Structure formats: C-alpha cells, structure tokens
Structure 1
Amino acid sequence: MDVNKMKFLSVANKSLVFVLSMSTVFATAAQAVPRPIVPEPALRLHFASHQPKYTVKQLPSGKKMKLHFVGPLIFADGDQALLLSYESDFKLDDMSKLKKEVEEIWTYFKQDASLQGFKHAVITVREEPEGPAAKTARVKNFLFEQKDTKWSCLTDPDVGAPTPEEDECDKAADFAKDGKFEEAIAHYTKAVELNPKSISALLNRSTAYETIGEHKKALADLSALLAISPNYVVAYVNRAWSHGRHKEFAEALEDCNKALAIDPKCAAAFNNRAAVYNDLGQYDKSLDDSTKAIDLAPHLAAAYDTRGVARRHLKQFQQAIDDFNKALSLNPKLGEAYYNRAQAYKAIGDTTHATSDEAKAKELGFKKE
C-alpha cells in the first residue's frame, strides 16, 4: 500500500466494532471472544469541536485511552483499513513518549485488525487544538500492513517491532493454526516465562488448554490474567465461555454479568449470556440478549447463530433459518451454524437441506457437545 493514500482517506458511515481480544488464532474456538469497543458514531476524523467527544477506555495495563473512533477506513482507490483514532496527552512532537504509547495500543489493536480480516490498520493520534480560535486537531498517522501473518509499520519502522515475548506468541499462533495445540502451549509458556504478565500469552494459552480439554488449567490462566488486570473484560468473556462449555452455568452467568458491569456495551458478553440462557431453556432471555449483541456488533457471526437457536426453540423457524444464513454469510466455516440450521430444516420437514447441512457441519469438524 502506498503511504500517500493517507492523504485521501475517508471514514465509512457505519462504525465497525473493535475487538480487544488478542486471540486471533482462537476466535472461532472461543465462540464469542470479540470484545467490542463501541465509539461515539459519526465523528469526523480531522476536525474537533471545542469540547471534543470521546469514550474513555482502559487498556489491560490500566492506562486510560481517549478513544474517538474505531471503524473502517476507505482509501481513494477503494482499499480498506481498520482505523483507531485516539487523543493523546502528549504533544505530537514528543516522539519518544508518543511511540511508547502507540506501541502499547498497537499490541492489542493488531490482533483486532487480524481478526476482522484487514490487511492494513491505522492508528491516528490526535492532538486537540488549544485556544478558542483553533478549530483543527493536529494528527499523526501510523500505517500498518500485514504480509502473511506479520505486521509492520510503514510510516515508522521502529513502531511495532516484535519483542522476544511476541516472537514466542507468533510461533505459538502458527502451531495453533495447524491444530498443534501442545506445541502452541509450549511457546505460550515460554512467552509467560519471559513476561509473567503477558496478557496475550495467558489469554491464548487458556484457550489452547480449553481446546485440548485442560479445563482447570484454562481457568487458572484466565484467573491469573484477571489478577493482573481486574477489569479486563475479555478474560471474563472467555471464562464465561469456558464455564458454559462444561455446564457450569451459574459461574458462566456471573462472569457475563461482571463483564457487562464493566462494559455495558460488550456484545460478546451479551452473546455468551444468551448462549447460557439457551442451555437453560430460557429462550426469551436468550433472544433478548443475542439481539442486543447483534445491535452492538452486526459483524458477530456467533450472535446470529445464538439467536437462531433461541428462535428455533421458540418455533420461529423461518426467522431462525434467516439468522443461520446470516451467520454463515459472515463466517462460512462456522460448523455449529450448519448443524443448527439443519435442526431448523428438520423442524419444517425439509430433510434434503437438513442432511446437506449436517454433512457440512461434520466436514468442518463440528461435533455436538
């Protein structure tokens, strides 16, 4: 991508939900891992009012970020990137401090760009105008590009260079993509040895443990993560998912509620709670929560699948099928959506489509737990 494209960017009309999960590899396995940050909508990129709007979000380190916008960025030639625009307390000329701040944000943001399928990402740092006559914010753009699985900063090569800990996480991610979770765990463990407070390593190792049936170890990693960062919503969301898989429904609901107490706009928590309500047979509650998840994160395939299950049990069969169709349009490899759509087809007597969907679910490796 030509860095000069940055001169001709525009923001798409619809905000894209941003995932602070650092769990790119396991996004499908951890059904509702996405942790949305929903910014104030319809903000202009380069112009600020005298009292600029922003949403204060806390990074896992405890640092607070004045978030102005997260969403898709459209270049003049139609190419797209994921944009995060925030307001810094540093002057743009103070590059040493600014780079350190951007590094911390990029540690999490790069995983979200990958998860959303973007090959380019932009962090726009805003320095708000001072004085009543000033109308335009100063900005500095950091443009990132992904090749294969590696990201690099095109505008400043010093930003985003991997640390030894991140190298181990990258190696682990490569093994996990191939289904080699034992090897992935070994490298995540090395990352934790290098940095015992590595949120990325602990989070992804927990999901790897859960994938191979080491439930207690998965919970231990998530609890360790929460000891480091007590308000880290993703850890509650993932722990709820882990509890739910083992029918520990009271614990799952408690973690979903904790996540929503911290972030009332967390689509993943609504989706996970809806899934628990499905398991408990409380389908009206599931329908309500999964609809809230979809309203907050229209891209979240798992939420449509969850709502489809609720609607099937409520005998809203065509609406259920519509939801499963939407889930599969967003994620064609979501095996459970094929399986669940098959059950809806069976309910209306369409055995042909039901048989086809069950075969596709099996082909994708989905097994009903």
Structure 2
Amino acid sequence: MKRSILLVGIVCFSLNIFSQTYQELSEQALEWAQKDSLQKAEELFRQALRLEPANPHNALLFSNIGSLQQRAGKYEDAIESYTFALNIAPRVVSILLNRATVYMEVGKLDKAYVDYCEALDLDKVNTEALSMRAYIYIGRRDYNAARIDYNRLLTIEPNNYNARLGLITLNQKEQKYKDALELVNKMLEENSHDAVLYVVRAGVEQEMNHLELALIDLDKAISIAPNSTEAYILRGEVYLAQKKKTQAKADFEKAISLGVLSTDLREYLQQCK
C-alpha cells in the first residue's frame, strides 16, 4: 500500500526567521522538484542547509530531501534523511509516515511498525497508520490486533476501502468464508465495476472449492481490467486445480508478459508440464 510523497514548502513569516538566501534556495529547490529535476532540487536544499545548519526549520529540508530520494528509489538514503528530520522534529507525524513507507518498501516491517505506532501515539485517528499497522499485524498473524485496528479505522471512516478489504482478508484467513463473502458482496453492490473485488471474491470461492464460481468472477475481473496480473495468476491456479494445464500455462505466461517475474511463477509453470 503506497502513499503519495509530498514536498513541504517553507513559508517565510519574518525576515528574522530566515535569511533571504535560505528562503530563495528552498523555493528554487521546490520549483526544480516540481519539474522532476530531483538531483538539482536536492543540491539546492543542501546548499540551504549549509547556510544555516542550526535552523530548526531544517527538519523540513531534510524531509524534502528524503522525499526526493524516495522518488528516485534511493531508499536507504531516504531513511537517513527522514531520520535527520526526526532528530530535529521528532513529533511530526507526516515525517514518521514517510519513513515508515520507505521501511515498508525495503522490507523492514518491524521498523515501520514502530513508526506507525509512534504516529498513532501522536494522532490516534490517523487512518494511514491504522491501515498499515493492521497490514503488518496480518503478516505477523496477529489477527486480533489487525481486526481491532481495522474496526477502529471503520469507526473513523465507515466506508474505508482498505479497512473493508482488510476485514475480508482476515475472515478468509480465519476460514470465516461466509462473513468474507457477505462483506465483498456488499462492496460489489456498491461498485460492480471494481475488478479487485471480483478477484478477492474469487479467492474466497477458490478456498471454498467453488472453482466454477471463481472462474466466473475471474473472467469478469479480466473483462474489466485486462492487465490484472492478480486475476491471471489466480485463474491459472484454479485451472491447475481443475487439471486444465494448457489454460493454466497460458494465464501464467500472460501474467509474465504483463511484468510478473518468471521466477515467481516457476513452480506453477512446472506443474503445467
């Protein structure tokens, strides 16, 4: 689950707060960032930092540098920059969330968990932190904690998409298939053109061994979203369960053509021989 990366502009409220040069460099950096000139923007932010290394507003500059590095895929550098920002301003929720997102990108879920917990200590109704912490709980198989976070999220936003999907996943993992189907059916009543929901329902039906129903839903998902790799992979699994190896192989190969790594599907392809 990914977040948009926002750069924070620095507003000069008083000439006594910032030198003009510091302000100008910061504004120029933001302009270059908007043009996707990430290296130039980072260079300008660093020039501003060198001018006033003790300025408390440098937390924003470090955070912005982290965002640039995150956009460039330099995740370890981004973590370091966000950490510098948090050393100056440890109670800024947006920076905690940004660093947590990068931790998730590099697979450091335990560190991300700490940041999401700290964010929730500061902002108890932060929906992003609740959603992502619940996701981490599912990975840990702490389903009770995940359910608490999802339900808490739904008290804040009753129609939150991720929370509702999360509860479906929880019910599925706990083999509460009837509850899972009730939730996904309700969501499909509200939006019958959501390919993701058809894939989700097909997954529940697959586990219930309702393979024909699963195929109907997967065909529908693919008709709505022809590039859905998840739909092709799941349909390939269903075909394999039905001993339809030719159809299964075709779906797995289609998923690979859409960008899935062949190594990820090697075991399935071997079963198609």
- TM-score category by the smaller chain? 0.5 to 0.7
Residue 209 and residue 326 in structure 1: after superposition, are their counterparts in 2 closer, same or farther (change >3 A)? farther
Partner of 1:120: none
Report what 2:260 is aligned to. 364
Q: Which runs of 4+ in 1 moved over 6 A?
A: none
Per the alignment, residue 131 of structure 2 pairs with 237
Query: Does the residue aligned with 2:149 lie in a helix, a strand or coil?
Result: helix
Tell me how far 1:307 sits from its aligned partner. Answer: 1.9
Per the normalisation by structure 1, the TM-score is: 0.48
Task: State the distance in 1 between where 2:163 and 2:206 align.
Answer: 22
Which one of the candidate residues 64, 68, 73 is aligned to 1:167? Answer: 64
Distance 2:195 2:71 in 1: 24
CA displacement at 1:169 relative to structure 2: 4.5
Higher RCO structure (Cα 8 Å, ≥6 apart): 1
| CA positional deviation for 1:361 | 5.0
- Over 3 Å counting, the alpha-carbon distance change for 1:204 and 1:319 in structure 2 is farther
The 3-state SS of whatever aligns with 2:102 is helix
Which residue number corresponds to residue 309 of structure 1?
203
1:244 shift after superposition: 0.9
Q: Does 1:276 align with 2:170?
A: yes
Q: Given that residues 63 and 82 in structure 2 are in contact (C-alpha distance below 8 angstroms), is that contact kept between their aligned partners in structure 1? A: no
Contact 1:172 1:186 in 2 (8 A): no
Is residue 253 of structure 1 aligned with residue 147 of structure 2? yes
For the aligned residue pairs, the C-alpha RMSD in angstroms reads 3.5
CA shift, 1:231, in A, is: 1.0
2:237 alignment counterpart: 343
Higher relative strand content: 1
User: Alpha-carbon deviation of 1:226?
Assistant: 0.9
Asked if 2 retains the 8 angstrom alpha-carbon contact of 1:342 and 1:358, the reply is yes
Contact 1:22–1:200 under 8 Å retained in 2: no
Percent of residue pairs identical: 26
Residue deviations 1:142-168 (CA, integer Å, cap 9, x gap):
xxxx86699xxxxxxxxxxxx636623
- Aligned residue pairs total 213
Q: What are the ranges of 5 or more consecutive residues in structure 2 without an aligned counterpart?
A: 6-33, 39-59, 266-273
Tell me, in whole angstroms, the C-alpha distance in 1 between the residues paired with 2:95 and 2:218.
Answer: 33
| Contact preservation (8 Å) 1:271, 1:302 | no
Instruction: List alignment gaps of at least 5 residues for structure 1.
Output: 1-20, 26-145, 151-162
Partner of 2:49: none
Stretch moving more, 166-175 or 296-305: 296-305
State the Cα distance separating 1:23 from its structure 2 match: 0.5
CA radius of gyration, larger in: 2
